[in-house]
A and B are shown apart, each in its own frame.
Chain A
Amino acid sequence: NAGVTQTPKFQVLKTGQSMTLQCAQDMNHNSMYWYRQDPGMGLRLIYYSASEGTTDKGEVPNGYNVSRLNKREFSLRLESAAPSQTSVYFCASSEAGRTRFPLHFGNGTRLTVT
């Protein structure tokens, strides 16, 4: 069971370039999330999708767009990368409907914008 799979693992972009981070889960979860992790700031929510067909902004959505392609896949797009978007990006998924369901995380994408 793969769980949550993120691609790519590493990426280097120049300022202004665009890219899409891919995420897929095979646990039949309704909810999916994108977080970014920066030193000293913990994990901050960028966007989430409570169920297929819906997406909502999190704490730090500026500069990002998302697509919930189907129940399995949730992608994150940087249209014009900036050095401030250098970070580690985590995708996660969980069952919906009860507070106690934990998030299951992918292994992260380390993005550097020069």
Chain B
Amino acid sequence: AQKITQTQPGMFVQEKEAVTLDCTYDTSDPSYGLFWYKQPSSGEMIFLIYQGSYDQQNATEGRYSLNFQKARKSANLVISASQLGDSAMYFCAMREGLSNFGNEKLTFGTGTRLTIIP
């Protein structure tokens, strides 16, 4: 079973509108973390935002926020007031808890390609 599912292969959004990128996850571990990364056409991987399973509030970083619904196992990324520079691939990823020390790896979804239209 997929641990991270991103169901939107591509999205087109008008500049200045808000956009929500979907991410659902599957884990039985009570301790886990969810990450979003941006990959522009230049290819580098840029860390955007983190949400911990025990965090009481949804994470926010500037124009990025995370709509974390634990019971539904979803962690959607919301970008407010989209800009042309937001056009990129976006990846959701999960690190499961450190119940066994050394379980450090991140598992990635297949990504969503976001295109901002002027």
Contacts and interface: CB of A to CB of B under 8 A. Distances in A.
Interface residues of B, number: 30
Contacts, number: 65
Contacts of A45: 105-107
B45 A41 contact: no
Most chain A CB neighbours (cut-off 10 Å) among B45, B98, B110: B45
B43 A108 contact: yes
B31 A99 contact: yes
B104 A31 contact: yes
Contacts of B95: 99
A90 B9 CA distance: 21
A23 to B, nearest CB: 14
Contact of A51 (B4, B52, B102): B102
A90 B45 contact: yes
Contact of B50 (A102, A104, A107): A102
Interface centre among A35, A43, A99, A102 (most CB of B within 10 A): A99
A102 B105 contact: no
A102 B35 contact: yes
A42 B32 contact: no
Interface of B: 4, 9, 31-33, 35, 43-45, 47, 50, 52-53, 91, 93, 95-98, 101-111
Interface of A: 31, 33, 35, 40-45, 48, 50-51, 54, 56, 58, 88, 90, 92, 94, 96-100, 102-105, 107-108
